[in-house]
Amino acid sequence: MGSKYVFLVSQIICLWLLAPLTQADQHQRETYIIYMGDRINLDIPAKSLHIEMLSGVLHSVPSHKVSEHLLYTYDNFHGCVALLTENEAKIIAGMDGVVSIFPNEKIYHHTTRSWDFMGFPQTVERSNIESDVIVGVIDTGIWPESQSFRDDGFGPPPTKWKGRCQTSLNFTCNNKIIGAQYFRADGNLSKDEVASPRDTNGHGTHTASTIAGGIVETASFLGLGEGIARGGVPSARIAVYKPCWSDEGCLQADVLAAFDAAISDGVDIISVSLGSRSHAVPYFRDPIAIGAFHAMKKGILTSASAGNKGPGLQTLSNFAPWLLSVGAATMDRKFSTKVQLDNGMVFEGISLNTFDLENKTFPLIYGGDSPDNIFSNSSESRFCKKDSLNKTLVEGKIVVCDILLRHTEDEVFVDGAAGTIMHFVEPHYYDIALSFPLPASYIRADDAARVISYTRNLTSTPFGTIHKSVEVKDTSAPYVASFSSRGPHPFSPHILKPDVIAPGVDILAAWSPVGSVSQVEGDPRSVPYTILSGTSMACPHATAVAAYVKSFHPTWSAAAIRSALMTTALPMSRATNEEAELAYGSGHINPLKAVQPGLVYDAAEGDYVKFLCSQDLDDIDIRLITGDNSTSCHQGIRNTTNNWDLNYPSIALTTSLGPFDTIFTRTVTNVGSSNSTYNVVVTTPQDQALSIKVQPSVLSFKTLGQKLSFTVRVSGSIGIRALMSASLVWDDGHHQVRSPIVVFNLS
Ligand SMILES: *[C@@H]1O[C@H](CO)[C@@H](O)[C@H](O)[C@H]1NC(C)=O
Ligand SMILES: *[C@@H]1O[C@H](CO)[C@@H](O)[C@H](O)[C@H]1NC(C)=O
Ligand SMILES: *[C@@H]1O[C@H](CO)[C@@H](O)[C@H](O)[C@H]1NC(C)=O
Ligand SMILES: *[C@@H]1O[C@H](CO)[C@@H](O)[C@H](O)[C@H]1NC(C)=O
Ligand SMILES: *[C@@H]1O[C@H](CO)[C@@H](O)[C@H](O)[C@H]1NC(C)=O
Ligand SMILES: *[C@@H]1O[C@H](CO)[C@@H](O)[C@H](O)[C@H]1NC(C)=O
Ligand SMILES: *[C@@H]1O[C@H](CO)[C@@H](O)[C@H](O)[C@H]1NC(C)=O
Ligand SMILES: *[C@@H]1O[C@H](CO)[C@@H](O)[C@H](O)[C@H]1NC(C)=O
Ligand SMILES: *[C@@H]1O[C@H](CO)[C@@H](O)[C@H](O)[C@H]1NC(C)=O
């Protein structure tokens, strides 16, 4: 372990950051995304309109050079990407027809045991058209040679497929990976990147294999998590869209181009485990929300990660009401890494330690006692920050480090050490196992106090070792992972988000052999499978279930598929997550139930438009977005359509201190059996002043596809910083169609 390692604690957990845009020079041109709503008259080539628009603004540019400033013209909506100065961008922002213009910022990418854990065994009933389902994965590309993407037994791509494979160098597609494209508007790739859909990072290979990887009999991460690796829909096809590059993240213009291509190509579901770490931005300034909106119009559901900024409230990303927003849950398998001291004390830690020290012990040293006195003092070296430790002192030793909040970007630096024992100073999250390029374990705060005391004060020759990780059972699973982002929704608190949770902790899936397993540069381990945590890992599980539902119900809308996942989700308990529905939404995905939901809460573009009107979008923007100049948010709509009446499969009410009384309207569509009668079952907490009244309390359906509406009157009284949970279930004896109801006052 003589080599030098620098690792970013934040990068390890949040594969999912946003770099702030550096302040641009007034006159320097930067890339901007200009969004102008729905497709315009198809007779006029959009590109010529875009050039015309730019010509009117780029006065300092000779007219024959204007087109060089147009980097993209999108197809499925009216929009483009252009190089502009800040002033030019301001002029365009004021033009008729422009919904939004925003700088091209970066977003970053945030077993298979998990399927068995949720009661979805390999032998489950499959639709014979599963292989017609195409899942578009927007990520870092794919490693096509992975065992998980073999195409044995696959026929040619479904006839509806219109995409292509950007073969380059030695990248080729097959009948499993039926398409692959990369996106980079500025063409500015770093030296070690190849212009290819090949995944040199690993993240995209991991997410794609979780969704639709084939069955691989024995897979493990260097012995850890050994078992059968498989995706949720092993017969489905994968279409790869790569806007994300190894360590430079993903530019928003490229992410939007990836959506544009996926929509044109005819994918059935889109999966995006990406997001911004900056403040929540309005829907039509967010490329994922814009792309997903136009996908929804074509019946394509977008499944997206909810973010890794938990456990604080209102930390969500990807919260647009036309998205499926997925939080991360734990599984019953944990990885335990014991730390043993020479005095006989043993502490149970957590990490993915694949290194076997064979019980050999090493001298221990506390980071705070080994500062590099030139560049640092002990108040910095205790956190093992970059360049804070004296290399001579730590060489060959196990360094004990205090780690600050994991969301800080402090680099932990263990130069030449034999290993590291770490603990979070506070808060103390202890639910995910991380991988490091040297023997490492995270221990609990009270154990850390004892290790530090032994190391510093109890002996002059402190020695210890770190054992290889072993699997242990966690009987309290599933619960929401600490890092998973929580609601409420930043703009529309009446929309409950995340929608569902799915396994996102310690997930084994395929990896790129050239990607770093620990996200640490210089980690020499090259592996075909690895274990990762994040909402990035939860999202592909929900995507796969959505694809599974789609394979049985190919004509269902995006909202109907999402409804099926939500109303059949396994209810979670507040006992393990105090933020309750704001952490787990409708609950944990339940694939087998999701194909037979009985009733669905459907919604179409018009429903979202009414919702947007209630969000004070003006008529001009609404007309641009819908592409229909007869749409209008006239007073009638504004007054009568409260945003809590979007036909959503869950009910949330934010209210101020004291009494509340609100009526929600919902409509369900019968997709179970033609002749069916559903009775309402309402469960309210006994100790809370909450009353739920449903009218009517019986819904009798005569035909399939029949829609019936009902109202839910939610009334009661709420205290300060309180949250009340209830549920509404429509039950016909076979199907239990459940919607969570949550009332909260967070002020
Ligand atoms: C692809 O080609 C490059 C350059 O020739 C080579 O380094 C790499 O190993 C090849 N990868 C695979 C998977 O064949
Ligand atoms: C290209 O990328 C390099 C390094 O990533 C950066 O320094 C440079 O400014 C970029 N050039 C342009 C034109 O964006
Ligand atoms: C390490 O110790 C454990 C028990 O203390 C023992 O079972 C194991 O065989 C030892 N390993 C080696 C390589 O000595
Ligand atoms: C590092 O530690 C060694 C050994 O104690 C010492 O000789 C050296 O001066 C230290 N270097 C710095 C920069 O503190
Ligand atoms: C340690 O260094 C930091 C940063 O340089 C400084 O703020 C702090 O006062 C120093 N502490 C001591 C005890 O010298
Ligand atoms: C433990 O040792 C450290 C460094 O040797 C010293 O600063 C500290 O005061 C000691 N603590 C106790 C409780 O003796
Ligand atoms: C929509 O806009 C077009 C072009 O501006 C116009 O010709 C047409 O009459 C408008 N239609 C309605 C219903 O306002
Ligand atoms: C809608 O609300 C506005 C302002 O609150 C009011 O003036 C108007 O009469 C209302 N219109 C209807 C149809 O209720
Ligand atoms: C529906 O139920 C009614 C009353 O239970 C029964 O008379 C009728 O035959 C049923 N229709 C179908 C299509 O099952």
Ligand at minimal distance from the CA of 369 is 6
Tokens of 597: 């939901």
CA of 171, closest atom in ligand 1: 1
Which residue has its alpha carbon closest to ligand 3 atom 3? Answer: 359
Residue in 373, 392, 394 to alter for ligand 4 test, most ligand atoms within 8 A of Cβ: 392
Q: 248 CA to middle of ligand 2, Å? A: 11
Residue-averaged pLDDT of the chain: 88
Rounded to whole angstroms, the maximal C-alpha distance in the chain is 83
Taking alpha carbons only, the member of 19, 78, 89 closest to residue 54 is 89
Residue 724 parent element (H or E): strand 722-731
Question: 639, 640, 641: which to mutate for ligand 8, most atoms within 8 A of CB?
Answer: 639
Distance 190 CA to ligand 2 centre (A): 8
pLDDT the model gives residue 24: 40
pLDDT of 93 reads: 94
Which residue's C-alpha comes closest to atom 11 of ligand 3? 358
Ligand approaching nearest to the C-alpha of 346: 3
Residue nearest to atom 3 of ligand 9 (CA): 675
The pLDDT tens digits for 123-139 are 677 788 889 999 999 99
Helix (H) or strand (E) holding 14: none
Q: What count of other Cβ atoms lies within 10 Å of the Cβ of residue 289?
A: 21
**Distance from the CA of 674 to the center of ligand 9, in angstroms?**
9
Protein residue whose Cα sits closest to atom 7 of ligand 7: 629
Ligand 1 pocket test target in 142, 143, 169 with most atoms within 8 Å of CB: 169
Q: Give mean pLDDT, residues 95-109.
A: 89
Which residue type sits at 725?
S
Select from 724, 602, 740, 612 the least CA-distant residue to 666: 602
What is the distance between the alpha carbons of residues 552 and 130, in angstroms, rounded to a whole number? 8
Ligand nearest to the Cα of 638, by number: 8
CA-636 nearest atom, ligand 8: 13
Q: How many CA atoms lie within 13 A of 523 on its CB side?
A: 24
Q: What's the gap in Å between 465 CA and the centre of ligand 6?
A: 22
* Tens of pLDDT, residues 369-412: 999 888 788 988 898 877 788 989 999 999 999 887 544 444 55
**Does residue 514 come out as left (phi exceeding 0), alpha (psi in the -120 to 50 range) or beta?**
alpha
The lowest-confidence range among 18-27, 466-475, 603-612, 627-636 is: 18-27
Give the chain's radius of gyration (CA, Å): 26
DSSP strand pairing (301-305 vs 323-329): parallel
pLDDT of residue 747: 80
- For residue 476, the 8-state DSSP code is T
Pair of tokens at residue 151:
């195409």
Nearest ligand to the C-alpha of residue 631? 7
pLDDT score at 188: 83
Tokens of 678: 């559903």
pLDDT at 635: 54
Asked if 203 is an active-site residue, the reply is yes
Residues 691-713: tens digit of each pLDDT: 999 999 999 999 999 999 999 99
Q: Is 278 a catalytic residue?
A: no
Q: pLDDT-derived band of residue 18, with 50, 70 and 90 as boundaries?
A: very low
* Closest ligand 8 atom, residue 638 Cα: 1
Q: Which amino acid is at 730?
A: W
* Predicted pLDDT of residue 564: 98
In terms of Cα–Cα distance, which of 407, 399, 363, 362 is closest to 383? 399
Helix, strand or coil, per DSSP, at residue 453: helix
Residue 619: predicted pLDDT: 74
Give the Å distance between the CA of 178 and the centre of ligand 1.
20
Sorted by sequence, the CB contacts under 8 Å of residue 658 that are 6+ apart come out as 717, 718
Ligand 9: centre distance to CA 675 (Å): 6
* C-alpha 621 – ligand 8 centre gap (Å): 21
Concerning whether 139 is annotated as a catalytic residue, the answer is: yes
| Angle, alpha carbons 557-558-562 (nearest 5°) | 115
DSSP code for 147: G
What average pLDDT does the segment 93-102 reach? 92
Where does residue 437 fall: left (phi above 0), alpha (psi -120 to 50 degrees), or beta otherwise? alpha
Q: Which residue has the tokens 């201190």?
A: 657
Q: Is the pLDDT of residue 111 over 50?
A: no
Which has more pLDDT, 86 or 3? 86
Proximal ligand: closest to the CA of 371: 4
For residue 455, the CA-to-ligand 4 centroid distance in Å is 19
pLDDT digits (tens, 9 = 90+) for 438-452: 899 999 999 999 999
Residue of 673, 674, 675 best suited for mutating to test ligand 9, as the one with most atoms within 8 Å of CB = 675
Pick the catalytic residue from 10, 38, 127, 139: 139
DSSP 464: E
Q: Which atom of ligand 5 is nearest to 376's Cα? A: 2
Q: Whose CA is nearest to atom 11 of ligand 7?
A: 629
Element (H, E) at 47: helix 46-55
Q: What is the mean pLDDT of residues 83-93?
A: 95
Closest residue by CA, ligand 2 atom 4: 190
Overall pTM > 0.75: yes
* Whole-angstrom distance, CA of residue 496 vs CA of residue 649: 9
Mean pLDDT for 156-165 is: 97
Question: Which regions of 684-720 does DSSP assign to beta strands (E)?
Answer: 690-695, 698-701, 707-718
What percentage of the chain carries pLDDT values higher than 70?
90
Closest CA to 563 of 580, 549, 582, 584: 549
The single-letter DSSP state of residue 391 is H
Query: Is the minimum distance from the CB of 677 to ligand 9 under 6 angstroms?
Result: no
Distance (Å, whole) CA 468 – CA 472:
13
CB of 233 closer than 8 Å to CB of 544: yes
The pLDDT tens digits for 185-197 are 888 888 878 899 9
Of ligand 2's listed atoms, the one at least distance from the Cα of 188 is 1
Q: Which of 78, 203, 206, 294 is catalytic?
A: 203
Q: Is 11 a residue whose pLDDT tops 80?
A: no
Report DSSP state, residue 571.
P
CA of 379 from ligand 5 middle (Å) equals: 7
Q: Which residues line ligand 6 at a C-beta cut-off of 6 Å?
A: 456-457
Instruction: Give the residue, by CA position, lying nearest to ligand 6 atom 7.
Output: 456
State the CB neighbour count (10 A cutoff) for residue 337.
23
- How many other CB atoms sit within 10 Å of the CB of residue 121? 9
| Ligand having the closest approach to the CA of 675 | 9
**Helices first, then strands: H and E counts in the chain:** 17, 38
pLDDT beyond 90 at 736 = yes
Q: How many CA atoms lie within 13 A of 343 on its CB side?
A: 14
Show the CA angle centred on residue 66, arms to residues 63 and 72, nearest 5°. 155
Task: Name residue, tokens 């910022």.
Answer: 105
Q: Ligand 5 atom closest to Cα of 379?
A: 1
Yes or no: say if 558 and 547 are a contact pair by the CB < 8 Å rule. Answer: no
- pLDDT for the residue numbered 405: 56
Provide mean pLDDT across the span 525-529: 93
Nearby residues of 593 by Cβ (< 8 Å), 6 or more positions away: 568
Which two tokens mark 509? 């899936």
Mutate to test the pocket of ligand 2, among 21, 32, 188 (most ligand atoms within 8 A of CB): 188
> Any residues with CB less than 8 A from the CB of 489 and at least 6 apart, and which?
316, 319, 495, 496, 497, 652
Q: Are β-strands 301-305 and 269-272 bridged in parallel, bridged antiparallel, or unpaired? A: parallel
Among 249, 158, 254, 109, CA closest to 547: 158
40-54, 326-340, 637-651: least confident range? 637-651
What pLDDT does residue 10 have? 31
* d(CA 628, ligand 7 centre) in Å: 9
Q: Whose CA is nearest to atom 9 of ligand 8?
A: 635
C-alpha 501/C-alpha 478 separation (Å) is: 10
- Contacts by 213-217 with C-beta closer than 8 Å and gap 24+? 213/112, 213/146, 213/148, 213/149, 213/509, 213/510, 214/147, 214/148, 214/149, 214/150, 214/152, 214/176, 215/122, 216/147, 216/148, 216/510
Question: Is the minimum distance from the CB of 640 to ligand 8 under 6 angstroms?
Answer: no
Render pLDDT for 709-733 as a digit per residue (tens, 0 to 9): 999 999 999 999 999 999 999 999 9
Pinpoint the alpha helices (H) of 602-649: 605-614, 619-626, 635-640
| Integer Cα distance of 653 and 723 in angstroms | 10
For residue 102, list its beta bridge partners.
33
Q: Are strands 177-182 and 237-242 parallel, antiparallel or unpaired?
A: parallel
Whether omega for the bond prior to residue 498 falls within 30 degrees of 0, making it cis, is yes
CA atoms within 13 A on the CB side of 164: 6
Q: Which of 220, 536, 551, 650 is catalytic?
A: 536
The alpha carbon of 368 and the centre of ligand 6 are apart by a number of angstroms equal to: 11
Banded pLDDT at 434 (limits 50, 70, 90): confident
Q: Which residue's CA is the closest to the ligand 9 atom numbered 7?
A: 675
CA-based end-to-end distance of the chain: 51
Q: What is the pLDDT of residue 121?
A: 63
